C-alpha cells in the first residue's frame, strides 16, 4: 500500500475510534493502540520513513508530523469531552457558559509596541518611560530648540492653560519622546543605551498618514566612541527584524536642532518612499546641557513613527483605522 495513503487511512480510523469511545477507559485503549510509544500504529508508520526514496522522504515526514498532530489534538478534545461532569438536570453540561463570549484581542498598535521593545531589547537597549505632560525645558530648551524656533509656536503644540510646571512655567503635551532621553541623561552617566515608547501630540491635519496623537519610539546610545555608522546599522537591522529583509530603507540629510549631523529615515511604501522618522548624532549643545563633555562622549538618537511601521506590516492604508475602534477591523489582528 502507498505509504502516503497509509497515513490518510491511519488518521481516518483513529478519529473514528476516538469518536466511538464512550468512556475514558475506552479512550485510553484507543490512545495506546494508535499513539502508543512501543506498539502503537503510529510507531509502525514511523518505520516506513527509512524505506521511502530520498526524494519523497521530506514530503512523507511533513505529512507524518501533520497526521500525528491532528490525531493527538483530537485525542485531547475527546478526553476533555469525556471528563465533563454530568448535570443532574436532563444531561445539561453545567460547565458551559450561559451565553457565547467572544475573547478580546490585543490592539495592533499594542502588538507593534511590544515587538519593538522585544527587538530593541535583543539589541541591548533598555526600555524607559517618561511623562506625557512636559515643561518647556525638557520639550524644547534642553533639546537645543531656542525660544524663537518655529517648533515652539503655540499653534503647533498643545499647551495646557489650566496647568503649570513645578517652576511655575507653562506645560504642554509632549511633541516628541526625545524629552525622555533628556531626563535619563540628567540622572545617568554614560554609557547609555535606551529606548522610550509612548504617545506624542501635535496639531497636525488628520489624513491617511497623519494624526494629532500618535506613537513614537525614541532611541539613544551614548558612549566614548559612538558613530553614525552604528546608527545606520541599528536602524537597518531594526527595520529588517520587524518588516523583513526585503524592505527598502534610505537615509537623507536633514536638520534637527538636537542632532548634528541629522538624517531623515525613509522606507519603501509600495511604489513610494514614506518618512518614518528622524535621526542623527546628538548635538554637542545637548550633551553640555546635561553635564557631559562632548570631547569625551558621543552618541546617536532616533525617533520612529510606530503607526507607520504597523501600517506597513499589516497593509493598512489609512492611519485613522487604528483609532476608530471598529471591532470588525480589530478582529483581523
| pLDDT by position in tens, the chain (length 333) | 687 888 888 888 888 888 888 888 888 888 888 887 777 787 777 777 777 888 888 888 888 888 888 888 888 888 888 876 554 445 666 676 667 666 677 899 999 999 999 999 999 999 999 999 999 999 999 999 988 888 888 888 999 987 788 777 889 999 999 999 999 999 999 999 999 999 999 988 888 888 899 999 999 999 999 999 999 999 989 988 888 877 778 899 999 999 999 999 988 766 778 788 899 999 999 999 999 999 999 999 999 999 988 988 888 989 999 988 888 888 888
Q: Whole-angstrom Cα distance, residue 220 to residue 189?
A: 13
CB 189 within 8 A of CB 297: no
Alpha carbon distance 303, 180 (integer Å): 11
Nearest partner of 323 among 312, 311, 315, 313, judged by Cα? 311
**Residues for the chain: how many in total?**
333
d(CA 333, CA 327): 10
Q: Which helix (H) or strand (E) holds 171?
A: strand 170-173
- Count of alpha carbons within 13 angstroms of residue 6, beta-carbon side: 14
Contact between 303 and 295 (Cβ < 8 Å): no
Residue 32 is predicted with a pLDDT of: 83
Asked if CATH classification 3.40.50.620 holds for the domain at 108-330, the reply, yes or no, is: no
Tell if the pTM clears 0.85, that is, is over it: no
Residue found by looking up cell 534642553 in the block: 142
Contact yes or no for 238/119 (Cβ under 8 A): yes
Q: How many CB atoms lie within 10 A of CB 68?
A: 18
Proportion of the chain in helix, strand, coil states, percent, rounded to 5: 45, 25, 35
* Domain boundaries along the sequence of the chain: 3-83, 108-330
Partners of 200 in beta bridges: 214
Q: Measure Cα distances from 13 to 2, 8, 263 in Å.
A: 16, 9, 64
Q: Tell me how crowded residue 82 is: count the other CB atoms within 10 A of its CB.
A: 15
C-alpha distances in Å from residue 181, one per residue of 119, 126, 128, 187: 19, 12, 9, 10
Q: What pLDDT score does 90 carry? A: 52
For the stretch 206-211, contacts whose Cβ atoms lie closer than 8 Å and that sit 24 or more positions apart, written own/partner, are: 206/320, 208/317, 208/318, 208/319, 208/320, 209/274, 209/308, 209/319, 210/319, 211/307, 211/319, 211/320, 211/323
Number of neighbouring beta carbons within 10 Å of residue 228: 15
Alpha-carbon span 304 to 146, nearest angstrom: 23
Amino acid at each position: 500500500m502507498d505509504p502516503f495513503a497509509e497515513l490518510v487511512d491511519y488518521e481516518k480510523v483513529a478519529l473514528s475510534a476516538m469518536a466511538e469511545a464512550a468512556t475514558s477507559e475506552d479512550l485510553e485503549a484507543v490512545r495506546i493502540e494508535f499513539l502508543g510509544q512501543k506498539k502503537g500504529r503510529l510507531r509502525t508508520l514511523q518505520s516506513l520513513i527509512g524505506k521511502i526514496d530520498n526524494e519523497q522522504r521530506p514530503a512523507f515526514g511533513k505529512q507524518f508530523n501533520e497526521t500525528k498532530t491532528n490525531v493527538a489534538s483530537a485525542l485531547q478534545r475527546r478526553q476533555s469531552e469525556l471528563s465533563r461532569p454530568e448535570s443532574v438536570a436532563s444531561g445539561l453540561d453545567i460547565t458551559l457558559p450561559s451565553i457565547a463570549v467572544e475573547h478580546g484581542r490585543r490592539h495592533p498598535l499594542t502588538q507593534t509596541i511590544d515587538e519593538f521593545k522585544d527587538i530593541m531589547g535583543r539589541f541591548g537597549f533598555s526600555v524607559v518611560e517618561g511623562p506625557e505632560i512636559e515643561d518647556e525645558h525638557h520639550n524644547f530648551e534642553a533639546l537645543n530648540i531656542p525660544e524663537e524656533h518655529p517648533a515652539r509656536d503655540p499653534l503647533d503644540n498643545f499647551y495646557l492653560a489650566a496647568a503649570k510646571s513645578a517652576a511655575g512655567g507653562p506645560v504642554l503635551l509632549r511633541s516628541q519622546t526625545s524629552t525622555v532621553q533628556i531626563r535619563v541623561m540628567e540622572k545617568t552617566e554614560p554609557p547609555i543605551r535606551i529606548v522610550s515608547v509612548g504617545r506624542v501630540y501635535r496639531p497636525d491635519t488628520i489624513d491617511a498618514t497623519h494624526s494629532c496623537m500618535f506613537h513614537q519610539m525614541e532611541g539613544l546610545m551614548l558612549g566614548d566612541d559612538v558613530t553614525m555608522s552604528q546608527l545606520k546599522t541599528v536602524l537597518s537591522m531594526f527595520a529588517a527584524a520587524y518588516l523583513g529583509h526585503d524592505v527598502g530603507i534610505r537615509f537623507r540629510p536633514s536638520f534637527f536642532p538636537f542632532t548634528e549631523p541629522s538624517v531623515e529615515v525613509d522606507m519603501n511604501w509600495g511604489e513610494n518612499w514614506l518618512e518614518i522618522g528622524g535621526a542623527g548624532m546628538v548635538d554637542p549643545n545637548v550633551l553640555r546641557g546635561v553635564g557631559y563633555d562632548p570631547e569625551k562622549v558621543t552618541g546617536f538618537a532616533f525617533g520612529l513613527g510606530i503607526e507607520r511601521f504597523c501600517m506597513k506590516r499589516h497593509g493598512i492604508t489609512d492611519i485613522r483605522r487604528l483609532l476608530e475602534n471598529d471591532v470588525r477591523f480589530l478582529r483581523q489582528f
